[in-house]
Structure 1
Amino acid sequence: MNRDNRLIALALFLWGMGEGLFIFIQPLYLDQLGANPARIGEILSAFSLMAALSFLPAGIIADRAGRKRVIVSGWVLGAVSGVAMALAPDLRLFVPALLVYGTTAYVMPALSSYIIAARGELAPERALTSVYAGYSAGSILSPALGGEIGKLLGLRTVYGVAAAFFVVSTLVILLIRSQPVERSTTGLRYGALLRQRSFLGLCALFFFVFSVMGVGLPLAPKYLKDVRGLDVAVVGWFGSVQTIGAVLLNLSLGRRPARRVWVASQALLFLSTLLLWRGTWVGWLGLAYFLRASYGLARTIANVLAGRDDAPGQHGLAFGLVETIISLSYVGVSYLAGQLYTRNPEWPFLVTLALLPLTMGLSWFLAPRPAPAQVPEVGLGAGAPIERPLE
């Protein structure tokens, strides 16, 4: 790993430390600020929409104007919005800061393409997962720490500590070097990709699968608090368990054929949802959060399945399209989850459990198989592209 990718890994470690403090308990803080379940669903839906609207333009800008500019701007904006969330005294000021923070996900296409360009002799998959492992490492203990801070000092204090990590992370990312702008051999003809029937069909499959997988996710922390009676510290520890699950699932399944892992990730989320719905013992609920990391594994596989054929100079577009589709799926399901939860806290889980068998069947038959010349391995390591639990 060269100098720039090491700096990115360090910056991601610090960002993971900060974001992990609050990301798993955010629905609980929104509840504390006065938002009911339907309102929480609407806020999380808007959060995902802000991210979805930012991916594609940022990916194209990164291909045309340079990746470092996009990366640094996102880091600075994230640090500023993090400070604003910490200072916000009520929901009226907190939500705008949260939505601005949501837009900073636009760095992902530029960041992934930067890492690939700076990888040296490493394979693209190895470079991506090695660098993104920094975020995973940073967010292993921080959710538990955030839960304990919230219990002892209040949830607002958690955001103040997170903002401090964001500022330090931003200072680190400023040290990476600029890269020359690559030019596609096809002249940046993005329309050619969008006219491919196979690609459009895959995007439709992604949208449906992630919509089904996502219904039971947004309000799970509130379900544990309202129905199972768990406090914020325990929910924070579950967040750490989920992060450990992300690392171990990637290590154990990362070298398997992509289509099989794609289906297996959905099966694991089915089991996770079942345990969240019916589990009462804290050990079963912890296992549910461990398996919940399969959502992030599925997200990684989506990038692998869709990004094999992008040309030089189009990496930003390819990553941007996939992330846009996934985030758009979460916009609708976050709103739906809030409405369902208001009527019955169990209904979001039941919708996911009812439809996941269908998505597994569709994924098995419709997901692309590797061409004979391709190595049928995903090549994931201990890390994976960042998946915010709210998305």
Structure 2
Amino acid sequence: MTASEMRATIALALVFALRMFGMFSILPVLAIHTQSMPGGNSPFLIGIALGIDGLAQALLQIPFGLLSDRYGRKRMIYIGLTLFALGSFVAAGAHDLHMIILGRLIQGTGAMSAAVIALVADLTQEEHRSKSMAIIGMSIGVTFGVSMVAGPALNHWIGVPGIFAITGVLAFLAMAVVRFVVPDPQVSRVHSDAETVPGQIASVLRNTELQRLNFGIFSLHAAMRGLFVVIPLVLIQVGGLAGADHWKVYLPIMAISFFAAVPAIIVAEKYGRMKPVFCGAVGLLCLSTLLMAVFIGNFVGVVTTLFLFFVAFNLLEATLPSLISKIAPAGSKGTAIGVYNSFQFLGLFLGGALGGFLAQHVGSASVFVFSGGLALAWFMLALSMNPPPRVRTCMFHLGEMEDSLAGRYAAAFAALDGVMEAVVIGAEGVAYLKIRIGEWDESGALRLIEKGV
């Protein structure tokens, strides 16, 4: 990566981190904070407050990306961060749970993640883009872990209103990073590997292998958001652990579960054992959530199963995007990811809402039984999936060309050894090749690019 590309990548990873820190930090403390507020004795409303931002993001993240094609990346990012800051300050000043729900809804309308990813694509070369996306993904993962630990400590020092206020301030800081650190793109255009193309949505939704993954990310995040309706209160009521001390549970769980997932990820990717590792992780997710229901009255049991849950969660968060890349058609990766992200956000909303409803009308254990049922259905779907091929997508810049010439290039690339699929989009001037790892004729591709067809 060039210095400019690295600067843009790190700066936009920081933008994501600044935005997500406040979103994540609220998860382990909101259910505790609302107990003393009007409406706070309703687990259903707590679940709505935890998940309502997901509904807004599910509806708006693709439109934000499309609007950034027309009105500019940075402009849409500024609009998204402004809405996010506004919602944070509304929630910070809330005196009842209904105003927190309103603030969280406004936060969710600032769904600028697709615009940020499009800006990353504008500022990076095709051959370096996957590295940039990986760095951004790592920043989000690290932010999540840090937030789980920092949330209870911040709640002790400044309270939930203070966390919301800091979240709003961090949004303005993110705007400053975009304005003063992130370079302006020389050219903005659609990137099929990073953005949703409306004409491809129907075909992506019809892809049964991708449907399994969409259901999976929906189930995973529904389980995670429903968990935070119940677990913070269980740690107090069953474990006698004050809210300010919850970090003592989250810190070892987050740190150890992160490192525990790494060997399995290496086995899956390096040794081509993706399906058994993936199915094992889904099975562990199912087992851990059902055991939470069994041990909900036992503090050690709750902490142990919570650890198992986050081992599975971390492993699946790492492998699901990899599977999307392997399975999605070469020219539709961006659309596949956009649809996948929408299902993820929808899972956040329904997990919070249904988790709260079940906790209120059936009992806390039922939240975990529901999550376990989703995970069991996902496990059955995962068992019947085709083993993902050991492939990756390569991108080469060719320059804009007529569609007829793009078709000849695609045919020539497809004839090379080890190329499973070749798509050349003339308007983008980019060739997308899905190739077998370690088996493809890279030198032949480079000669083709140099000499032409």
Q: TM-score, normalised by structure 2?
A: 0.69
The Cα of 1:126 is off from its aligned counterpart by: 3.1
Name whichever structure is richer in strand by fraction.
2
> 1:366 aligns to what SS in structure 2?
coil
The separation in 2 between residues aligned to 1:190 and 1:253, in whole angstroms, is: 36
Q: Is the 8 A contact 2:154 2:163 kept in 1?
A: yes
Q: Does 1:263 align with 2:271?
A: no
1:71 offset after TM fit, Å? 2.7
Distance verdict in 2 for CA 1:117–1:98, change over 3 Å: same
User: Which residue of 193, 196, 199 maps to 2:207?
Assistant: 199
Q: Which amino acid counterpart does residue 93 of structure 1 have in structure 2?
A: M
Q: Bigger shift: 9-18 or 52-61?
A: 9-18
| 2:109 aligned residue (83, 103, 106) | 103
The residue correspondences of 1:213-232 to structure 2 (distance < 5 A) are 214-215=222-223, 216-219=226-229, 220-232=231-243
Alignment partner, residue 190 of structure 1: 198
Q: Secondary structure at the match of 2:66?
A: helix
Whether contact under 8 Å (2:265, 2:318) holds in the other structure is: no
What's the offset of the Cα at 1:232? 1.5
User: Secondary structure of 2:150's partner?
Assistant: helix
Distance 2:249 2:133 in 1: 26
> Does the CA-based 8 Å contact 1:21-1:162 persist in structure 2?
no
- Matching residue's letter, 1:272: S
Answering whether residue 77 of structure 2 is matched by residue 71 of structure 1, we say yes
- Point out the more displaced range, 114-123 or 82-91: 114-123
Q: By how many angstroms is 1:138 displaced?
A: 4.1
Structure 1 residue 355: Cα displacement: 4.8
- Could you tell me how far apart the structure 2 residues matched to 1:193 and 1:162 are? 33
Distance 2:345 2:301 in 1: 31
CA contact (8 A) 1:207 1:325 kept: yes
Deviations 1:213-236 (A, max 9, x none): 624524232333344443222334
Instruction: Give the structure 1 partner of residue 9 of structure 2.
Output: 5
Is this contact kept in 1: 2:238–2:299, CA < 8 A? no
Equivalences for 1:230-309 in 2 at 5 Å?
230-241=241-252, 243-244=254-255, 247-248=258-259, 251-255=262-266, 256-257=268-269, 258-274=274-290, 276-277=292-293, 278=295, 280-282=298-300, 285=303, 288-289=306-307, 291-292=309-310, 294-295=312-313, 297-307=315-325, 309=328
Partner of 1:167: 172
| Structure 2 counterpart of 1:362 | 381
Q: Give the direction of change, closer, same or farther, for the CA distance of 1:329–1:201 in structure 2 (3 Å limit).
A: farther
**Structure 1 residue ranges without an equivalent (≥5):** 378-391
Instruction: For residue 125 of structure 1, report the CA deviation from its aligned partner.
Output: 3.9
1:31 aligns with 2:35: yes
Higher-RCO chain (CA-CA 8 Å, sequence separation at least 6): 1
- What's the TM-score once normalised by structure 1's chain length? 0.79
Range with bigger deviation, 44-53 or 301-310: 301-310
Q: What amino acid is aligned across from residue 23 of structure 1 in structure 2? A: L
State the alpha-carbon separation in 2 of the partners of residues 80 and 355 from structure 1: 34
Q: Which residue of 2 aligns with 1:387?
A: none
Cα distance change of structure 1 residues 113 and 207 upon mapping to structure 2, 3 Å threshold: same
Contact 2:221/2:348 (CA < 8 Å) preserved in 1? no
Alignment of 1:13-162 (within 5 A): 13-33=17-37, 34-35=39-40, 36-104=42-110, 106-120=111-125, 123-162=128-167
| 1:192–1:146 distance in 2 versus 1, CA, 3 Å | closer
Which stretch shows the higher mean deviation, 124-133 or 46-55? Answer: 124-133
For residue 172 of structure 1, what is the amino acid of its counterpart?
A: V
Deviations 1:156-187 (A, max 9, x none): 333333433333233212231233222469xx
> In structure 1, how many angstroms separate the alpha carbons of the residues matched to 2:252 and 2:78?
30
State the Cα RMSD in Å: 3.6
Q: What do residues 1-49 of structure 1 show as CA deviations (whole Å, max 9, x unaligned)?
A: 5211121233334445444432322222233323211222233343321
1:328-380 Cα distance to aligned partner (Å, 9 max, x none)? 23433332212221221111112333453342131132256226644579xxx
Change (3 A) 1:52 1:315: same
* CA-to-aligned-CA distance 1:106-133 (integer Å, 9 cap, x gap): 2222323433443448654432222333
Q: 3-state DSSP class of the match of 1:177?
A: coil
CA distance in 1 between partners of 2:8 and 2:321 (Å): 23
The yes-or-no answer on 1:181 pairing with 2:188 is yes
Between Structure 1 and Structure 2, whose CA radius of gyration is higher? 2
Distance 1:63 1:108 in 2: 14
Q: Could you list the per-position Cα deviations for residues 42-70 of structure 1 after superposition, in whole angstroms to 9, with x for gaps in the alignment?
A: 33343321111112212322344443333
SS at match of 1:327: helix
Contact kept? 2:118, 2:191, Cα under 8 Å: no
Structure 1 position 152, deviation (Å): 4.7
Tell me if the contact between 2:219 and 2:378 (Cα under 8 Å) persists in the aligned partners.
Answer: no
Partner of 1:381: none
1:318/1:355 Cα in 2 relative to 1: closer, same or farther (>3 Å)?
Answer: closer
| Structure-1 residue corresponding to 2:370 | 351
* Counterpart code for 1:54: L
Amino acid at match of 2:292: L
Tell me the secondary structure at the aligned position of residue 23 of structure 1.
coil
Identity %: 21
Find the counterpart in structure 2 of residue 338 from structure 1: 356
Q: Distance in 1 between matches of 2:147 and 2:390?
A: 41
Q: Which runs of 5+ in 2 are unaligned?
A: 392-417, 419-434, 439-453
**Paired amino acid for 2:119:** Y
Q: Check whether the contact 1:70–1:107 (CA below 8 A) recurs between aligned residues.
A: yes
Q: Which amino acid aligns with 2:368?
A: F
